[in-house]
Amino acid sequence: MISKKIIMAILAVSIFILPWGMAAPPAVRIRVIVAVVNIRAQASLTGEIIGQAINGTILEADSQQGEWYRVKFVPKNAAAPLTGFVNVAAVQLVQSQPAPVVKPAPTAKPAVSQPQPEPPAPQPQSQPVPPPPAPAGAPSAYGSWVVGGGASIMTYWTSWEYSVLESYGRTYYHRWHIFSRTGLTGFVEKRQLLKLGPLALNLKGEFHLGLLGGTDEDTTPTRTHLSDGGSMFGFDVLLKVAYPIPSGSGISVAPYFAAGPQYMIISSNGVGSESDDSGYAKGWTENVFAIPLCFGADVDFKGLTLGLEYRHIIIAGASTDMELSGYETWFYTGQTGGVFHINLGIRF
């Protein structure tokens, strides 16, 4: 008799304890598929809004009550998670097992709460919103080799001073000579030899061949024409500091400035037209050593580079083989000049 009572007591205790010892139903993961979803305190459109979640947010739901999931979330500036409800039309299951369905408990309508419209349900089989494109960086083809050629127009001014010994002493004459030459250029450039933050340090080598042009003597009030021909040959090595500007259109621009040593040999055929210029008739040459300062921009598109540049000679020195009869000839340090360049290159 005692054993039956003990058995009955154990069964009664087991029936009372067993529901409390059972594992809670597994939670499911849901993803927000609208721009913003309201999290409410009750499973109702009139429930108080206690939080919000944006598109793509993953929430855990432990049950489903009609058209509502009960979820846990951590609002801003809160230490502990809260429990609320989101509408099933605003979310999508991440895993296939649905949340357990629980009959919703009746809730009282709040006295003052105003209904908040839910966002429209998404279209079936909607595709996830792609992430925004990453910001464009410097053109990937900028750090490369460029080889090409072009044309140039040069005007070079050189200052000569003549000295002749007269019976009463030495007489001095000072004149400017102006060389104008139009010709061809060729170049090779290594881009981004060194990267300096957003800037690129390039190394460029060029040669110049002047084929057309003439030489004048700058006198007051008019110029005297000394030569209607001649030629020019020169080369230089330039260090360029460029600023490549990013672009997503396939065309990019890189403004730059550059400087470096330059050598030129300029010849004139010496067709003097004035009696006091008869010494020019046999022609002459000048050797020029200069440092130009260059300003320009390179435009890159479809594997090609179009370059526009102006350069101005800031430092120069020169020598000449001119020997005017009875004169001694030397130079001031006033040599200067300007060059316009346009070139087209191929990037490798």
Strand partners, 199: 196
Supply the CATH classification number for the domain 145-347. 2.40.160
Distances in Å between the Cα of 270 and the Cα atoms of 10, 107, 156, 287 are: 130, 109, 17, 16
Report if pTM > 0.85. Answer: no
What fold, for 26-101? Answer: SH3 type barrels. (2.30.30)
pLDDT for 219: 66
pLDDT for 220: 59
pLDDT for 345: 94
**Alpha helices by DSSP H, the chain:** 2-21
| Residue whose C-alpha is closest to residue 203's, from 138, 263, 260 | 260
164: how many CB neighbours lie within 10 A of its CB?
Answer: 13
pLDDT for 275: 46
The per-residue b/e assignment along 265-291, b for 16 or more CB within 10 angstroms, e otherwise, is ebbbbbbbeeeebebbeebbebebebe
pLDDT for 224: 77
Burial of 316 (0-12, 13-18, 19+ CB in 10 A): buried
| Residue whose C-alpha is closest to residue 201's, from 175, 237, 240, 234 | 240
CA–CA distance, 97 with 40 (Å, rounded to integer): 24
Domain boundaries, the chain: 26-101, 145-347
Q: For the chain, which ranges sit under pLDDT 70?
A: 1-26, 95-141, 161-174, 219-222, 271-279, 323-334
Residue-wise pLDDT tens digits, 11-48:
554 544 444 444 445 678 889 999 889 999 999 888 89
Strand, helix or coil for residue 18? helix
- Match 């090595």 to its residue by tokens: 237
pLDDT for 223: 74
pLDDT for 313: 92
pLDDT for 344: 95
